[in-house]
Amino acid sequence: MSFLRFIPETTNVDFVGWRYPAFALDGLLLLVTVVSLLWHGLALGIDFEGGVLLEVKAPQVIDISTMRNKVDSLGFGDAQIQYFGGGACDTPANSCALIRVQPKADQSGDAAATAIKNKLGSAFTFRNAQVIGPKVSEELFHDGVLATVLAILLISVYVAFRFEWQYGVGALIATGHDVLVTAGFFSVLHLDFSLNSVAALLLLAGYSINDTVVVFDRIRENRRKYKRMPLPELINLSTNQIATRTTLVSVATALTMVPLALFGGPALRDFSGAILFGILVGTFSSTYVAAALLLYLPAPAGTRKEEQATA
């Protein structure tokens, strides 16, 4: 259905020729990320800083906006409120809420929980109250970082096993770059870094490697078909062949995130914003960085070394 095509079916972009400006832009993103992470660090949320977690139930549908105004009036530095389901909360719908707050500097967790209970009043039943200590939060943060790093490494090992080790190195650098720059997005904008943020980074690692594998798979196919074609031309041919697919998939995925960013509320705004940024960066790195890195690695099997000279 050609009327649905917003970009040409095939393109003829010199991706290899544009690799130096792409590397420069990439280097700038990495520089800003590293400086921000070293200077500001991450604005750790309640999950990683500790705080108070309350589950509340009401006989009627809870108005999150009204509840948020009441909790915010107590002056907590960080408050997250969302609907909570499961068990006795399944009926009626939206009759339970999960409240997470960061107590004030001179306030204990128990005192913060008591203040919230007094503010909301007897109309709510408090089903569960937990005070998350800094030790548990620190362990959660370390485990989240470890899970992200292991995911990137294992993905790269799979790519190296499925293709060749050169492709694994390219996948490691490209995917690690996407995750690191997206973490920098949280640091530069001072967004709360929570378990949702770790989920966003893991999701982006999977999304990024999917695009990268598509590029690598097309390069491998064309390498078998055009055995005497120099590697720079082979990369350009392969990347142009999947450019339309990559662009349309990225746009379609981004469109699903826009409603969450606009109407998902504070709980989902940072998550969806990071996903949107990561899709942009991941598409860029899969197109310009991952494949171009093959030019600076030993020639894959079946590619003659003398044919790898760059333009």
Instruction: Report whether 218 contacts 241 (CB < 8 A).
Output: yes
**120 shares its domain with 247:** no
**265 shares its domain with 304:** yes
* Residue from 306, 300, 308 nearest 220 by CA: 300
* Residue from 206, 98, 110, 107 nearest 158 by CA: 206
- Chain mean pLDDT for the chain: 78
Distance separating alpha carbons of residues 257 and 250, to the nearest angstrom = 11
- Confidence at residue 31, expressed as pLDDT on a 0 to 100 scale: 92
- Confidence at residue 306, expressed as pLDDT on a 0 to 100 scale: 41
Domain boundary among 132, 147, 165: 132
- Confidence at residue 11, expressed as pLDDT on a 0 to 100 scale: 67
Give the residue numbers spanning the domain of 96.
51-132
Task: Let me know how many helices (H) and strands (E) the chain has, helices first.
Answer: 10, 6
- Confidence at residue 307, expressed as pLDDT on a 0 to 100 scale: 44
How many domains in the chain? 2
CATH number at residue 95: 3.30.70.3400
- Least trusted range by pLDDT, from 113-117, 241-245, 301-305: 301-305
How far, in Å, are 84, 105, 127, 128 from residue 91 at the CA level? 11, 37, 15, 18
Give start and end residues of each alpha helix (H) in 40-86. Answer: 46-49, 64-72
Q: What is the pLDDT of residues 114-168, one digit of tens each?
A: 888 888 877 788 777 777 766 666 777 788 788 888 888 888 888 888 878 888 8
What's the chain's Rg over C-alpha atoms?
Answer: 24
Partners of 55 in beta bridges = 98, 128
Q: Per-residue pLDDT averaged across 92-106, rounded?
A: 72
Q: What is the pLDDT of residues 179-197, one digit of tens each?
A: 889 988 988 888 878 778 8
Q: Take residue 31 and report the two structure tokens written for it.
A: 């520089």
Q: Per-residue pLDDT averaged across 288-303, rounded?
A: 73
pTM of the model: 0.73
Q: Are strands 192-193 and 43-44 parallel, antiparallel or unpaired?
A: parallel
Domain boundary among 111, 132, 153: 132
Distance separating alpha carbons of residues 181 and 25, to the nearest angstrom = 12
Domain boundary among 117, 132, 147: 132
